[in-house]
């Protein structure tokens, strides 16, 4: 299949769930999709299109939280990013870890750093943060406040 055929086919399959499509360059395509459709869409890209899962990156965009799931179809040098926008108050999206084993760790990381819940994840425990780190403090949120008064501070530039 060609690049255009892959993208058109994907759009046809998930017509109702694709909220936005940004065809940035020949190597990059961004789809914003409905969070409920993430698992079927990602499964389709990973299993049927034979894409590789790079990683997910969580972003705090102040008005909402966002996760981008990056996949690449290596035979045609195309990187597809699936974007889901989540509500700041109760952010959650279904886990991909049961479909893609490589998504296990990054969901644990996003869970502790951005406070996004992943229902269905086999073991959603801490990955990076120390045991004494308080619950409910998410360092990658934009409103993060330093909580440890004894910490050695980064003084910026």
Partner 1 sequence: MQKSVISIGPFHPLQEEPEHFSLTVEGETVVDVDVEIGYNHRGIEKLSERRNFEQSTFVIERICGICSTSHPFAYTRAVEDIIPVEAPERAKYIRTIIAEGERVHSHLLWMGLAGHFLGYNTVWMWVWRLREEILDVMEILSGNRNSYAMFKPGGVRRDINPDDIPMALKKIDAIIPTMDRLKKAILDDPVLHARLKGIGILSKEEAINYCALGPTSRASGVDRDVRKNAPYGAYDRVDWDMIVTQKGDVFDKVVVRVLETYESIKIIKTCLQQLPSGEIDLKLKSIPPGEGIGAAEAPRGETFHYVRSDGTNRPVRHKVRAPTFMNLPTCKATVPGSTISDAAIILASIDPCYCCTERMAVCTPGGERIYTGKDLIKMSQDKTEKIKREMGIK
Q: Does 55 bind partner 1 (CB under 8 A)?
A: yes
Residue (41 or 106) nearer to partner 1, CB: 106
Q: To the nearest 10°, the Cα dihedral for 60, 61, 66, 72?
A: -100
- Rounded Cα distance between 143 and 60, Å, is 9
Residue (22 or 36) nearer to partner 1, CB: 22
Contact mark string toward partner 1, 56..95, x via CB under 8 A = -xxxx-------x-x-x-xx-x-x-x--------------
- Rounded Cα distance between 116 and 139, Å, is 12
Residue (7 or 140) nearer to partner 1, CB: 140
User: What is the phi/psi pair of residue 22, to 5°?
Assistant: -125, 110
- Rounded Cα distance between 24 and 34, Å, is 20
Q: Does 105 bind partner 1 (CB under 8 A)?
A: yes
Q: Which residues contact 141 (CB under 8 A, 6 or more apart)?
A: 60, 114, 115
Residue (58 or 91) nearer to partner 1, CB: 58
- C-beta of residue 60 within 8 angstroms of C-beta of residue 114: yes
Q: Does 43 bind partner 1 (CB under 8 A)?
A: no
Q: Which residues contact 13 (CB under 8 A, 6 or more apart)?
A: 44
| Among the listed residues 35, 40, 120, 139, the single contact to partner 1 using CB under 8 A | 139
Minimum gap (Å) between residue 155 Cβ and partner 1: 10
Query: Rule CB under 8 A: which residues touch partner 1?
Result: 24-25, 27-28, 30, 52-55, 57-60, 68, 70, 72, 74-75, 77, 79, 81, 100-102, 104-106, 126-130, 139-140, 154, 156-157
């Amino acid at each position: 299949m060609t690049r255009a055929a892959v993208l058109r086919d994907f759009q046809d399959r998930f017509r109702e769930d694709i909220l936005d499509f940004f065809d940035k360059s020949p190597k990059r395509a961004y789809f914003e999709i409905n969070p409920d459709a993430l698992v079927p869409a990602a499964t389709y890209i990973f299993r049927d299109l034979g894409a590789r899962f790079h990683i997910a990156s969580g972003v705090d965009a102040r008005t909402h939280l966002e996760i981008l799931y990056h996949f690449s179809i290596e035979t045609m040098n195309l990187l597809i990013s699936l974007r889901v926008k989540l509500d700041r108050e109760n952010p959650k999206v279904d886990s991909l870890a049961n479909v893609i084993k490589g998504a296990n760790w990054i969901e644990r990381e996003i869970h502790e750093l951005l406070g996004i819940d992943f229902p269905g994840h086999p073991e959603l425990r801490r990955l990076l943060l120390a045991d004494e780190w308080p619950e409910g403090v998410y360092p990658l949120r934009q409103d993060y406040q330093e909580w440890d008064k004894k910490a050695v501070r980064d003084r910026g530039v």
